[in-house]
Structure 1
């Protein structure tokens, strides 16, 4: 099959380096790609004269070549292109636009290995132009793009299904227990320390004279997300038997973070099936609940609602955009306590929804695997 350099397929127009004084409150938005999903934010508005080539419209293909590498078909209206983004002009040969997007998306990992820059990684134009993609006939490109687009749309649909199921759980929680922030149903309230054992974890890099150390897995801040445990990367640490006994995690322990982004401080999740002898880092609090008073599933959902989030935000210490809470503040967290029977009803409902989530997640994983294998077949 014929191969073509990206530089021989199209012209890549870089955006303009707008100065701070160029940015106002009227005119066209100055666009910057924010993350790998293609989310964009504007850097203010510009109502002066500008080179026509940096204007973007729906249907334009954009490539973010610095910080968050990505390729996107723009669909958010007229704007102006800030620096670090290429607008693709297909003026050198006939090519299917969607095929081009899929091909570049696949090649981004290869390009990332060639990125330059100490603080902000970026692609050098020469390396970008020299990247080669398979280049079948335009008819074959259209066929490939059609297949990949269909599978990609199924992947997105499955993701939306999962989000809708999560939203259903949250809606049921509010329906059963009311507005948590206002305590609209007048539930009794108590401090967390009255219904849970709250402890910090093991300090990484601590000095120990013990010689009999065992390497065990441990939960770090990166593993604890808002509502779930991320098992992508689990690190290990050497610990004494006493430390393993002291910090060992049990099923249904709730892990909560000490710090992070202000809107995420105090985030927490239940650990359902901890790895053998798994312990936790000192920047994570382990909350072991008295289940005769409060159930882990109820408490974990409670942490995602405004009463707890505003409490943590109000008492957290903030420095340079990072917020943190201490043990005393966590133990003093005010927790609403509906009757245990109501909590159990919610837990049963959530379990039923989670069965559906498992089925949807399985379908998503299978579809994603198919998509990835076809991308490898077509562009690898």
Structure 2
């Protein structure tokens, strides 16, 4: 430990509290202030309950331990715990954020059925506190690396936007179908697989069979984790997917940034699909999977899901409505021409993803250097 560095309990140097929660029905589409829930922004509201930017810790559910930073003048709900330095001259909020990102939350989370982090379990955590000039140097270095990562992720989003714009240019907007394409039900073009309700008690890192859960399906992003199933499930061909197949979330299918759908990556080849996730297996003889994937990202699909949703604040999609989804069907040759253009974009994305992985490795190494001293 360097001279001048201190070790304190988190509860000694930070206020730990869960603010008042407003219900989903109270959110306002044109509200002036952002509302933060367990996993970041969930909507807007006409009032705020925090003037300053705050460090937020997800304290309930599957994403326990996730860290967010709120914008100034925002409403923070009680399923996020505020971790606020008592003395701003002792701990920088950004330093606190990076410290919390380094914590192994498995040692803090309680509750098997519903994981949670409480003030009682959080307060005894030890935090290393360097002098402020050292904190500033650490934050500057980690901010630089995380900034590089974010810029590269933004490049990925721009390439995704380019792919979607090519779709509209070649096929038009499916909402009005101005090009007059034939329309088919999605299940006429693809096999639709409904996920199976695997017992959560069977999930473990040491198991050999990968499983795709709803938390793995982001907006145009596959989010890998370590959840796997025992080999006894290997014969469940009815819910098995392969590299390149499409998966879509059936619960909360739409969030603020778009439709939650993703492509199955190589490491999830022959994985199994869990409940509330559907797999879309394109019949390559009649339709391009690249075309179907881009179609699922259109405003038409977003509107279709919202029309079918039973709850506006959590738009869900039934497997029947997914199968019945009206799908424009241009000539296969034109779809394949589109797929060739997207293949070029995907190759560029792979290079960027490789660069992101390398930078993340360096970032994690520096995090370990600064925070793994206890």
Q: TM-score, normalised by structure 1?
A: 0.70
Partner residue in 2 for 1:124:
119
Partner residue in 1 for 2:205:
none
Contact 2:192 2:280 (8 Å CA) reproduced: yes
For residues 139-170 of structure 1, give each alpha carbon's deviation from its aligned partner in whole angstroms, at most 9, with x where no partner exists.
33332222112112112111111111111111
CA distance in 1, matches of 2:273, 2:21: 46
2:294 alignment partner, SS class: helix
Q: 1:305 to 1:376 in 2, by over 3 A?
A: same
Specify which of 295, 313, 323 is matched with residue 316 of structure 2: 323
CA distance in 2, matches of 1:239, 1:94: 53
2:232 alignment partner, SS class: strand
Residues 1:157 and 2:151 aligned together: yes
Partner residue in 1 for 2:355:
363
Structure 1 unmatched ranges of 5 or more: 47-53, 206-214
Q: How far apart are residue 202 of structure 1 and its match? A: 6.5
Structure 2 unmatched ranges of 5 or more: 200-207
Partner residue in 2 for 1:208:
none
Partner residue in 2 for 1:90:
87
Q: 1:157 to 1:289 in 2, by over 3 A?
A: closer
Residues 1:106 and 2:102 aligned together: yes
Specify which of 185, 197, 207 is matched with residue 179 of structure 2: 185
Q: 1:147 to 1:298 in 2, by over 3 A?
A: same
Partner residue in 1 for 2:288:
295
Contact 2:291 2:339 (8 Å CA) reproduced: yes
1:181 alignment partner, SS class: coil
CA distance in 2, matches of 1:348, 1:269: 19
Partner residue in 2 for 1:50:
none
CA distance in 2, matches of 1:373, 1:43: 40
Structure 1 window deviating more from structure 2 (280-289 vs 365-374): it is 280-289
Contact 1:220 1:281 (8 Å CA) reproduced: yes
What is the aligned-residue RMSD (CA, Å)?
4.5
Q: How far apart are residue 62 of structure 1 and its match? A: 3.8
Contact 1:63 1:69 (8 Å CA) reproduced: no
Structure 2 matches for 1:198-347, cutoff 5 A? 198=192, 219=212, 221-225=214-218, 227=220, 229-232=222-225, 233-236=227-230, 238=232, 244=237, 249=241, 252-256=244-248, 259-261=250-252, 263=254, 268-271=261-264, 273=266, 278=271, 280=273, 287-315=280-308, 321=314, 323-327=316-320, 329-347=321-339
For residues 54-74 of structure 1, give each alpha carbon's deviation from its aligned partner in whole angstroms, at most 9, with x where no partner exists.
8633xx554547446566665
Contact 1:71 1:101 (8 Å CA) reproduced: yes
Q: TM-score, normalised by structure 2?
A: 0.71
